[in-house]
């Protein structure tokens, strides 16, 4: 079991977060400017996990509250180094995010996931996230998938949880 602390991101974290993201397969590694945007403009709703022994960032959650629908929040990325998985650390990060956004009036958390990311699908369904259904989804193995959501042949799952 790792000894860690959760804290809000600071702008200087963006390069370190980028390095951790590169180790979070099968998650897509974003360009560094995305991490910089979150560490600069969404500090209050974005978090890192730091190892208390070596002080290194071992995971992160980048999220925000919707400007269009203030009762909704969105998790852009949730990532942990492999050695930190399976210890409920991701759940602790997620709960930290939920506590912050619900205190600000949010009633719903949304996120988008690739259908090929079986690790994330298993995690989110285990903690009671639901896959959004619409006339644009197809159901495969009990999961609603938006066909061509991010362009041709780029299907996605929209998960949500009421909080």
The distance in angstroms from the start CA to the end CA of the chain is 29
Residue with more model confidence, 4 or 26: 4
pTM of the model: 0.91
Domain boundaries, the chain: 1-65+76-105, 107-163
> How far apart, in whole angstroms, are the C-alpha atoms of residue 90 and residue 61?
8
Average pLDDT, integer, range 129-149 = 95
Q: Please check the confidence at residue 1 and state whether its pLDDT lies above 80.
A: no
The CATH code of domain 1-65+76-105 reads: 3.40.630.30
Count the neighbouring beta carbons within 10 Å of the beta carbon of residue 45.
24
* Predicted pLDDT of residue 21: 87
Pick the closest to residue 60 from 9, 123, 119, 1 (CA basis): 9
* Predicted pLDDT of residue 86: 86
> How far apart, in whole angstroms, are the C-alpha atoms of residue 104 and residue 88?
25
Residue with more model confidence, 26 or 25: 25
- For the stretch 53-83, pLDDT in tens is 999 999 999 999 999 999 999 999 999 988 8
């Amino acid at each position: 079991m790792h000894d860690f602390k959760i804290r809000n991101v600071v702008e200087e974290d963006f390069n370190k977060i980028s390095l951790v993201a590169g180790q979070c397969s099968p998650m897509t590694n974003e360009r560094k400017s995305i991490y910089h945007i979150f560490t600069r403009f969404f500090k209050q709703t974005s978090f890192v996990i730091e190892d208390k022994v070596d002080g290194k960032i071992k995971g992160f959650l980048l999220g925000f509250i919707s400007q269009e629908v203030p009762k909704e929040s969105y998790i852009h990325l949730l990532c942990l180094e492999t050695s930190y998985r399976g210890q409920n650390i991701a759940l602790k990060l997620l709960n930290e995010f939920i506590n912050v956004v619900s205190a600000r009036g949010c009633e719903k958390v949304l996120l988008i996931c690739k259908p090929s990311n079986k690790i994330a699908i298993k995690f989110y369904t285990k903690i009671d996230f639901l896959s959004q259904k619409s006339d644009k989804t197809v159901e495969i193995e009990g999961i609603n998938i938006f066909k061509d959501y991010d362009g041709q042949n780029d299907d996605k799952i929209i998960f949500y949880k009421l909080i």
